[in-house]
Amino acid sequence: MIGLTHYLIVSLVVFALGLFCVLTRRNAIGILMGVELILNSANINYLAFARFGSGNYDGQIFAIFVIMLAAAEAVVGLAIVLGIYQTFRTIDVSATETLRG
Amino acid sequence: MQLSDLVFFAIAGLTVLSAAGVAFSRNIVYAAFSLMGTFMGAAGLYVFLAADFVAVVQVLIYVGGILVLMVFAVMLTHRIEDVQISNRTVGLAPALLVVAGIAGIMGYAVLTTAWPVIEPGAAVATTADIGNLFLQEYLLPFEFASVVLLAALIGAVAVSRKELRSE
């Protein structure tokens, strides 16, 4: 029987892969993809606890807000990435170090 | 083992494998398409968790919106000639160390905590109840969400437009 722990482990693996992606990527879009993985794993946790922990809809409402914020984050993040590309002609984040002291 | 368990493991495997594709693929285009597998797999998991409305929202917004936007950004920024090295990775060893540490702690917490689990009821349609909650109990966060989306819209336009000189 599939229980809460199964979902938590799937979510944990997706979170770990997303964190790895954020830490190792040098492509700005790759980093944004890692952030999306982390947000998805958080959503799986919210829904798993809504189903097996509380039994009401609060977790689902939170998941919808997370999806909404992920959309806003992706829009602004990709606009910034395109701005960086127009300035530096690359989206490698280690090349954009104008502000490094 | 029931059939639904097999379907769960198939969907969970799809989610995890395509997340690994996002994390390890050397080509950013492959990573972007791998991300679609993760989003669809997560939507499948939401259906298993009796969250039909959230699953549909996930498909509409993530796959239909965010992923298309990401593919657009990939195609607009990525030069065709360096397609092989478009997704360079650095610092593998320290990142693996950090991720293994955090995942170990979280896995220990997941496996050893006695979660207060209830027996889930039958899956019912959630859309009407979620709509009522949004317009009653969660009305203020809902309105704030629309303001945040408007700010993101204006911010994205302001960041990405060309500077216009008046003279």
Give the model confidence (pLDDT) of B42-75 as tens digits: 999 999 888 899 999 999 999 888 999 888 888 8
CATH number at residue A29: 1.10.287.3510
Residue B29 in tokens: 């285009």
Task: Judge whether residue A16 has pLDDT over 90.
Answer: yes
Confidence of residue A85 (pLDDT cuts 50, 70, 90): confident
Q: Quick check: is A95 in a domain?
A: no
The pLDDT assigned to B145 comes to 93
- Helix, strand and coil percent figures for chain B, each rounded to 5: 75, 0, 25
Instruction: Give the rounded distance of the alpha carbon of A8 from its chain centre.
Output: 16
Establish if A93 belongs to a structural domain: no
Residue B82 has pLDDT above 60, yes or no: no
A73 belongs to a structural domain: yes
pLDDT digits (tens, 9 = 90+) for B95-136: 889 999 999 999 999 888 888 888 777 778 888 989 999 999
Amino acid at A46: Y
Helix spans in A1-101 (H): 4-24, 28-49, 58-88
Q: In this structure, is residue A56 part of a structural domain? A: yes
Query: Total structural domains in chain A?
Result: 1
Q: Is residue A100 part of a domain?
A: no
On average, the pLDDT of chain A sits at 87
d(CA A47, CA A60): 6
CA atoms within 13 A on the CB side of B102: 15
CA–CA distance, A29 with A92 (Å, rounded to integer): 9
Contacts with A, B 108-127, CB within 8 Å: 110-111, 115-118, 120-121, 126
Write down the pTM of the prediction. Answer: 0.88
Nearest CA in chain A to B100: A16
- Cα–Cα distance, B3 to B7 (Å, whole number): 6
**Residue A94: helix, strand or coil by DSSP?**
coil
Q: In a mutagenesis test of the A interface, which of B68, B110, B113, B124 is the best target, namely the one with the most A β-carbons within 10 Å?
A: B110
Contact B99, A20 (CB under 8 A): yes
Looking at the domain assignment, is residue A96 inside a domain?
Answer: no
Lowest mean pLDDT among A12-16, A29-33, A75-79, A96-100: A96-100
Structure tokens at B13: 């495997």
Residue A101 domain flag:
no
Residue length of chain B: 167
Which residues of chain A are within 8 Å of residue B23 when distances are taken between CB atoms?
17-18, 20-21, 24, 34, 37
Select the residue of A43, A64, A76 nearest B42 (Cβ to Cβ). A43
How close are the terminal C-alpha atoms of chain B, in Å? 74
Give the residue-averaged pLDDT of B76-104: 74
pLDDT band at B40 (very low <50, low <70, confident <90, very high): very high
Averaged pLDDT, A72-85: 87
Select the residue from B30, B33, B66, B135 to test the A interface by mutation, using most A Cβ atoms within 10 A. Answer: B66
pLDDT of B116 reads 82
> Is the CB of residue B130 less than 8 Å from the CB of residue A61?
yes
The verdict on a CB contact (< 8 Å) between A30 and B28 is yes
Asked if residue A41 is part of any domain, the answer here is yes
Q: Which domain holds residue A54?
A: 4-88
The full length of chain A comes to: 101
